[in-house]
């Protein structure tokens, strides 16, 4: 019986200590500041680009129009989302340039993230130069292709002309052979008459 009483007293004491410890832990948690992590603007844009890789063109166009409409709200997140969408491979050149302008304005409005965002702007400028070089290279190739197609068409016309001339020459040669045969026949007839007389 003593053992049971001692046991119950021990259980009550321990449960009280646990409750006190629990209350102290909750108090300590309330005293500790809550840290909210916000990704840097560049990180936000890069992770957004990763998320865009699987969307279809139709969805992209809807997202872009929505982001373009929300851009006037002035929210940083809306601006960063718009910049992200403009950097997508599905964005056309006009959308790309709109995003570049939004990024330049973001840098002006947020000097604290200038260093990071200027680096991103530098990469985007390089991308722009590469696109322009690719497009101008492609245009040059298309121009060369058109020029070569023109030359091929000219050569084909010349070949047809030469083939037609060749056919005419064959006909003329055949006519000349026929005339030669006729002349030989006439000559033979004349010889035969002279011998017959």
Mean pLDDT, residues 144-152: 90
Mind listing the pLDDT tens digit for each residue in 28-74? Answer: 455 555 544 455 787 888 888 888 878 888 888 888 888 888 887 77
Q: Is the pTM of this model over 0.75?
A: no
The three-point CA angle 79-82-85 to 5° equals 150
Neighbours of 43 (CB within 10 A): 12
Percent of the chain at pLDDT > 70 equals 79
Question: What six digits make up the tokens of 163?
Answer: 């083939």
* Secondary structure percentages of the chain, helix, strand, coil, to 5: 90, 0, 10
**Residue-level length of the chain:** 197
Buried/exposed 55-70: b ≥16 CB within 10 Å, e otherwise: eeeeebbebbeebbee
pLDDT tier for residue 27 given thresholds of 50, 70 and 90 = very low
62 by DSSP, 3-state: which? helix
């Amino acid at each position: 019986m003593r053992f049971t009483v001692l046991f119950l007293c021990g259980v009550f004491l321990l449960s009280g200590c646990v409750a006190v410890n629990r209350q102290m832990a909750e108090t300590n948690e309330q005293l500790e500041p809550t840290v909210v992590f916000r990704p840097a603007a560049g990180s936000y844009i890069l992770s957004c680009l990763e998320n865009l890789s699987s969307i279809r063109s139709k969805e992209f166009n809807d997202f872009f129009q929505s982001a373009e409409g929300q851009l006037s709200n002035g929210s940083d997140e809306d601006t960063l989302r718009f910049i992200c969408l403009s950097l997508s491979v599905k964005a056309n050149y006009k959308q790309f340039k709109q995003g570049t302008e939004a990024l330049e304005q973001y840098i002006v409005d947020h000097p604290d993230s200038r260093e990071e965002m200027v680096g991103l702007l530098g990469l985007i400028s390089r991308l722009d130069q590469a696109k322009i070089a690719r497009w101008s290279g492609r245009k040059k190739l298309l121009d060369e292709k058109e020029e070569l197609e023109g030359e091929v068409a000219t050569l084909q016309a010349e070949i047809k002309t030469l083939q037609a001339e060749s056919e005419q020459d064959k006909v003329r040669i055949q006519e000349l052979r026929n005339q030669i045969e006729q002349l030989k026949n006439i000559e033979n007839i004349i010889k035969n008459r002279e011998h017959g007389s």
